[in-house]
Amino acid sequence: MAIREKSLIEAAIVHGLINTSDRDQAKLEARRVQRDELTTLCYVKRLSISRFYHAFAAMQQLAFLRPSQIFIDHKRLKRLSPAVIRQFRILPVLMDTQQDQLAYVVTDSPDNPALRNQLPRLMKLEVELCVTDPVTMEYLIHQYSGLQNSILMFDAVDQVNDLLNEAYLNRASDVHIEPLEDCYLARIRIDGRLQEHGRRYTHEEGISLISRIKVMANIDIAETRMPQDGGAKHKTPLEDEFDLRIATAPTKYGERITIRLLGTDNQLFTLQQLGMSDGALAQFAEIIQQPHGIILITGPTGSGKSTTLYAALTQLKNEEVNILTAEDPVEMAIDGISQVQMNAKVNFASALRSFLRHDPDIIMVGEIRDSETGEIALKAATTGHLVLSTLHTNSAISSITRLRDIGLEPFLIASSLLGVIAQRLARRLCQQCRESYQASDSEKNALNIATDQPLTLWQPKGCPLCGGNGYQGRIALFETFWMDDEMEALITEGADELTLRKKAKHFTSLADDGREKVLQGLTTIQELKRLGLIQQFEEVAA
């Protein structure tokens, strides 16, 4: 007996996951699509069912356990028959506060009155309930009550759909299915961090999952010894459709597969929503209004470069300008802009050449990967076009070195470059549950703050709104480097990165921007350490 739908929705309202307006909207939508109200709410608000169970647990002052937090108490498991486990949907678990006279039991049905009445007798101990979501509980019951899933019961189509829907609801960017020695593991990347899915699969089930995904992607099922890639589409129960980019690779224990979710978030950010400091934002907004020149956005894969480019293009587009983009892939369609998808017959260089015959005002090229693309882009920037593009470099100023390394002349770089933005994504602290604390001396040193000054910082706690992680979403950190006459002269002369950095008058480092966002309580010093930025502070402090 799972928790009643009404109770879950009320708990979600109490804990800020949804509001009464969301509930009323979901009621109407549920009638239209002929689905239950809770499922409709999940997809309208993009919240996984586990968030609702977490909210209910919090309202009842019960601990909520994610799959990675559940450790079965095998000693006390012997006291429960498989029939009792299945009837009451319970399993004993180990907790940090374990006591001899207290048993902890996890369930997805904590509001079952029969369960509360029978548990002390069944366990012969005082019992404290913990809560998990139904998907996790169902998997655990099958694992520990003698109902081991057989391959005959396993529906790969439904399992793949459930996995992709769960990734969508959690706003994940990727799904990984990978073989281990004794099972297959599924993980989804949420806010840049991989998290294990609620269940593991036998090798037979894992192979079945991968075969199903390969069929979806129209790639060779029989080929398991070579990497392959393809694409597919997925439609949610509420008919929202998004693209999948799929890649396979052979590993020691079998074939693994990675699925990238594209176009699941159709929100176009404005420049103001990117999270730049006021000074950097004003400078960027001014730079993109220049009639010609090139602006580069740099950073590793998944650092939000496309989001920044789209925000700039959205700001620039109007009926008086002709904007053309070359992308691989086109991640989001923008009305009023001609977007070209790269393929086997069209690469960035050939697309750029073609663009110049279409009277463009603004050109966006997804990435400068080689000297041919770079040369065309820089020449276009010096002949009356505004060009935006990306590079894979670690910092803004190192992009100068990168352009030189691929064979571009320093004078061409200097005469065409307007500025460079390097960026990273840090996890954003959940603003609902974050906790304040007094910074230690080492943290003050790391942030270049005098140790004799009091300093309040913020740390994650965890609540239903953020799924217990303490973080919700991500925030961009920006390094900005803008050109001036001195920089142009130094680049033309072939100055090295250190010289450019020392002489730059319009430069803000990733470390400096990260420091400000830590002090504002938007992210944590641990996130800066994870991104490799904390060392820069320690060097400054020293």
Question: Which secondary-structure segment (H or E) carries 52?
Answer: helix 49-59
pLDDT in tens, 324-344: 999 988 888 899 999 999 988
Per DSSP, the three-state class of 454 is coil
Q: For residue 397, what are the contacts with CB-CB under 8 A and spacing of at least 6? A: 420, 481, 497, 500, 501, 504, 507
What is the pLDDT confidence band of residue 542, given thresholds at 50, 70 and 90? Answer: very low
487: left (phi over 0), alpha (psi -120 to 50) or beta: alpha
Residue 495's nearest CA partner among 427, 404, 412 is: 404
Helix, strand, coil shares of the chain, percent, nearest 5, are: 40, 25, 35
What is the pLDDT confidence band of residue 179, given thresholds at 50, 70 and 90? Answer: very high
Rounded average pLDDT over 461-478? 93
**pLDDT at res. 266:** 66
- 188 vs 364: CA distance, rounded Å: 31
**pTM for this prediction:** 0.88
Compute the Cα dihedral for 359, 363, 366, 370 and give only its sign: positive
**pLDDT at res. 150:** 47
**pLDDT at res. 121:** 87
- When computed from its CA atoms, the radius of gyration of the chain, rounded to whole angstroms, is 27
**pLDDT at res. 540:** 47
| Exposed/middle/buried for residue 405 (C-beta within 10 Å: 0-12, 13-18, 19+) | exposed
Tokens 């086109």, located at residue: 330
Tokens of 83: 């029939």
Whether pLDDT at 15 is above 70: yes
pLDDT in tens, 116-159: 888 888 888 889 999 999 999 999 998 888 765 544 578 999 99
Q: By the 8 A CB rule, do 243 and 217 touch?
A: no
What is the pLDDT confidence band of residue 541, given thresholds at 50, 70 and 90? Answer: very low
pLDDT in tens, 196-255: 887 889 999 999 999 999 999 999 999 999 999 999 999 999 999 999 999 999 999 999
Rounded average pLDDT over 406-432? 96
**pLDDT at res. 471:** 95
What is each CA distance from 519 to 380, 429, 470, 523, in whole angstroms?
A: 41, 12, 17, 8
- 294 vs 289: CA distance, rounded Å: 11
Whether pLDDT at 539 is above 60: no
**pLDDT at res. 100:** 77
pLDDT in tens, 40-85: 999 999 999 999 999 999 999 999 999 889 999 999 999 899 999 9
**pLDDT at res. 101:** 83
Residue 433's nearest CA partner among 9, 16, 11, 10 is: 16
